[in-house]
Chains A and B, each alone.
Chain A
């Protein structure tokens, strides 16, 4: 079974600063995938970034990067140069081996960007 832990219920950051959202995971699978989703106040779930367990390099997508530390079982999301529009709930999720497509989500972190 997979488990995701997000220990920061809320974070407040000044606009233009970088922010790191923490995510630790637990799994017995050797192959797995890690995902981050953003949920703005409008409610939709927006996919941000993916990291595979065998990827040697950290994933990047524009201002988003994933700090993947396999030995520590952490997959932190880094947002560079934060913007007001980044204010939202952020969810870390994992999928076990490729044949088991279930996603397990963490409880989320509410990020607020202050002007």
Chain B
């Protein structure tokens, strides 16, 4: 089975530009998560979806960030306009809750390293 797929793997953009990060979860998983990793703040959850519905977006830093999940196999995280402080590694992860505890392990994609100049 393919793991979580993220694109692009690296993104360099200039301040003020729109950035779109993409994620394809593991087939059959019903939860999808977006995390951000920085040296200062570590790994922090931005938003997560259950069956394509956003459940908790309390970690989204501000209105410049938005996330969508139009279907079970695709999600996007958009930053508009981007700022240098958005530079980080963004991870997408997915899990399968319906099997109960132990099966709900989150599996991470390879991450997107975003640099905003």
Find B45's partner among A43, A52, A102, A107 (CB 8 Å cutoff). Answer: A102
Asked if A11 is at the interface (CB within 8 A of a chain B CB), the reply is: no
Chain A neighbourhood of B18, CB < 8 A: none
Contact assessment for B101 and A52 in the assembled complex, using a CB-CB cutoff below 8 Å: yes
Chain B, residues 50-66, CB within 8 Å of chain A (1/0): the string is: 10000110000000000
Query: What distance in Å separates the Cβ of B105 from its nearest Cβ neighbour in chain A?
Result: 5
Residue of A nearest to B44 (CB): A105
Chain A neighbourhood of B56, CB < 8 A: 102
Chain A neighbourhood of B31, CB < 8 A: 101
Contact assessment for B104 and A33 in the assembled complex, using a CB-CB cutoff below 8 Å: yes
**Known contacts A35-B105, A108-B42; A44/B110 CB under 8 A:** yes
Asked if B107 is at the interface (CB within 8 A of a chain A CB), the reply is: yes
Chain A neighbourhood of B109, CB < 8 A: 44
Contact assessment for B101 and A47 in the assembled complex, using a CB-CB cutoff below 8 Å: no
- Looking at A44, A101, A106, A108, the one whose CB has the most chain B CB atoms below 10 A away is A101
Asked if A113 is at the interface (CB within 8 A of a chain B CB), the reply is: no
Number of interface residues of A (CB under 8 A): 23
**Known contacts A98-B97, A98-B101, A101-B97; A47/B42 CB under 8 A:** no
Chain B neighbourhood of A47, CB < 8 A: 105-108
Alpha-carbon distance A102/B31, docked complex (angstroms): 10
Chain B neighbourhood of A95, CB < 8 A: 104
Chain B, residues 88-109, CB within 8 Å of chain A (1/0): the string is: 0101010101001110111111
Chain A, residues 43-73, CB within 8 Å of chain B (1/0): the string is: 1111100101000000000000000000000
Sample (16) of A-B pairs whose CB atoms are under 8 Å apart: A33-B101, A37-B108, A45-B91, A45-B108, A50-B105, A52-B101, A91-B43, A95-B104, A98-B97, A98-B101, A98-B104, A101-B31, A101-B104, A103-B33, A104-B45, A106-B42
